[in-house]
Amino acid sequence: CHPRVATRVPMGPLSLLLALSLLSPRGSAGASCPPRCVCASNLLSCSQANLSTVPAPLPRFTAVLDLSHNNVTRLRADWAPARLPHLHALLLSHNGLAFVSTEAFTHVPRLRHLDLSSNRLRTLDENLFSDLGELEVLLLYNNEITTVDRTAFENLGRLRKLYLGQNRIARFPLELLREGTRLPQLALLDLSANRLRAVPAGELQALPAWLRDRLYLHNNPLACDCLLFQLLDRGHRRHLSAVVDFQDELRCVLPGAPASVKILALAGQQPLNCSKAQEAVLEAHLGDSVTLGCDSRWQGVRSRHWVTPGGERVLGDTGNGSVVLLANGSLQLRALRPEDAGTYACWVAGPLLNETLYVELLVHNFTLHGPHDTLNTAYTTLVGCILSVVLVLIYLYLTPCRCCCCRGTEKPPAPRDDSINSSVLSTTPNHATGAGEPCGSHIASGAGTGQNGRFKGGGTPPLPARPGPKVQRKVSDPDSVSSVFSDTPIVV
């Protein structure tokens, strides 16, 4: 409060005395205000007082304590011997602070704002801030931090802003952000100007857009790759502040390159030749159920609605319940059909500006098991063709009698004067065959015109021998001979 402000308001002698007492070194509590501090109601300002330790005793009603720009190099567990139930802001920046006890915050459980920036802290030990269950803002920028224990931020369920820029951090446990279980309300994470060489781009892309909007990674010696480019390219097209505001400082190092390059300039450039990724593309199959997320960069969204590819506005259940708007703003599609494919738009009414998100849905024209069934059918067809070819080759080349070999060794037709009984009706061939003939024993005589003018296509195969005693057969007359070549077989 400036003294001139008090002179503008008319007041009586008692009011003036009270106002001056609030501005006096002793403050409103008289002797309870520490030396070299200025006390105003529940505010204690001990900044630039050349202090090497925290002054004592501290008033129990203290709500804001400013100890910045001093020489407090160590914050022990006994800096606040008594409980300070009303303290919600503690400022310790610019002190050369190199050590903070893990029990330093036991007596200040209501702390919501903690400023430890511009000091000489090197490590964030295990469970360092675990007693600060109501902490919302934690400033640790401009220190010498190299190591961050993954349990250092345990129990910080209300932390909204975490500033770790301008340190020496080579690896930060980004798994703390996964699924929002460790830091569920975190909306800002500043990791700029550190020594990060790689970040899990795939996991960061899965984070909500409102968190990626305040995830600062600029001025780090990141290694160039296409996943990192696509992560930042999506953020640039979504107008995320962490990308748009610092696009010139978002740089990476190519292998063998002497200097860093802008990450957003890697599109289509050698040697990586990165391609631009679409914002949201979802693939599904006929009959599936899918959920289209409305990943807005705004928190505290007032309302959402969807517009289908056909121009239909979705506010709740439509039709037979195949399209449903969920409570979190996502759109659920059930029993997909081919006509459900297309680009869906999500209209978001944010606290500051409106936003429109687009999701492209691709519906494959087969069921989930369709590709496997198609593959099995093709495989079966191929195997069937191969077996058919093999059977044809076996028939042509591996049969017991190959007719192509028999044509050259066929015996000429029997002379006319040969006995008809022996040449046609006898079970034994009329002519002896050579020792090397493979099929002369069952090849009939050549085709020609038989008796009674009938055509004999390939001869009649010999009848098999019947068991039992031989029966002497008589020579047949010409009428009997004609019956041999008839359509009705001879029964002996």
Sorting pLDDT into bands at 50, 70 and 90, what band is 333?
Answer: confident
Sorting pLDDT into bands at 50, 70 and 90, what band is 7?
Answer: very low
C-alpha pair distances (Å), 179 with each of 182, 206, 228, 456: 8, 9, 20, 90
Sorting pLDDT into bands at 50, 70 and 90, what band is 319?
Answer: low
Q: What is the pLDDT of residues 102-157, one digit of tens each?
A: 999 999 999 999 999 999 999 999 999 999 999 999 999 999 999 999 899 989 99
Q: Specify the DSSP element, H or E, that contains 290.
A: strand 290-292
143 vs 395: CA distance, rounded Å:
87
27 vs 31: CA distance, rounded Å:
8
- Let me know: does 302 contact 329? Beta carbons within 8 Å: no
Beta strands in 26-134 (DSSP E): 38-40, 43-45, 64-66, 74-75, 89-91, 99-100, 113-115, 123-124
129 vs 131: CA distance, rounded Å:
6
Sorting pLDDT into bands at 50, 70 and 90, what band is 358?
Answer: confident
- Let me know: does 69 contact 45? Beta carbons within 8 Å: no
Assigned fold of 282-364:
Immunoglobulin-like (2.60.40)
Identity of the highest mean pLDDT range in 50-59, 87-96, 349-358: 87-96
Q: What is residue 38's predicted lDDT score, i.e. its pLDDT? A: 93
Q: What is the pLDDT of residues 270-292, one digit of tens each?
A: 788 888 766 677 788 888 888 88
Q: Per-residue pLDDT averaged across 297-308, rounded?
A: 79
Question: By mean pLDDT, which of 4-8, 148-152, 426-430 is the weakest?
Answer: 4-8
Question: What is this structure's pTM?
Answer: 0.63
Interstrand relation of 251-253 and 222-223 (parallel, antiparallel or unpaired): parallel
354 vs 347: CA distance, rounded Å:
7
Proportion of the chain above pLDDT 70, given as a percent: 69
pLDDT over 60 at 328, yes or no = yes
pLDDT over 50 at 299, yes or no = yes
Tally of CB atoms within 10 A around 112: 17
**Tokens read off for 122:** 């090197």
Q: Per-residue pLDDT averaged across 299-325, rounded?
A: 77
Tally of CB atoms within 10 A around 377: 10
Q: Per-residue pLDDT averaged across 185-210, rounded?
A: 91
- Let me know: does 191 contact 165? Beta carbons within 8 Å: yes
Q: Per-residue pLDDT averaged across 207-222, rounded?
A: 92
Mean of pLDDT over the chain: 76
The one-letter code for the residue type at 162 is L
Q: Per-residue pLDDT averaged across 443-456, rounded?
A: 44
Percent helix, strand, coil in the chain, to 5, is 20, 20, 60
Q: What is the pLDDT of residues 339-356, one digit of tens each?
A: 888 888 887 887 776 777
Q: What is the pLDDT of residues 383-424, one digit of tens each?
A: 888 888 888 888 887 766 555 554 545 555 555 444 444 444
Q: Per-residue pLDDT averaged across 51-64, rounded?
A: 92
CB burial of residue 248 (10 Å; 0-12, 13-18, 19+): exposed
pLDDT over 60 at 448, yes or no = no
Sorting pLDDT into bands at 50, 70 and 90, what band is 19?
Answer: very low
Identity of the highest mean pLDDT range in 94-108, 169-183, 313-327, 421-435: 94-108
Q: What is residue 26's predicted lDDT score, i.e. its pLDDT? A: 38
428 or 277, which is more confident? 277
Q: What is residue 395's predicted lDDT score, i.e. its pLDDT? A: 82
**Where do the structural domains in the chain lie, given as residue ranges?**
282-364
- Let me know: does 153 contact 182? Beta carbons within 8 Å: yes
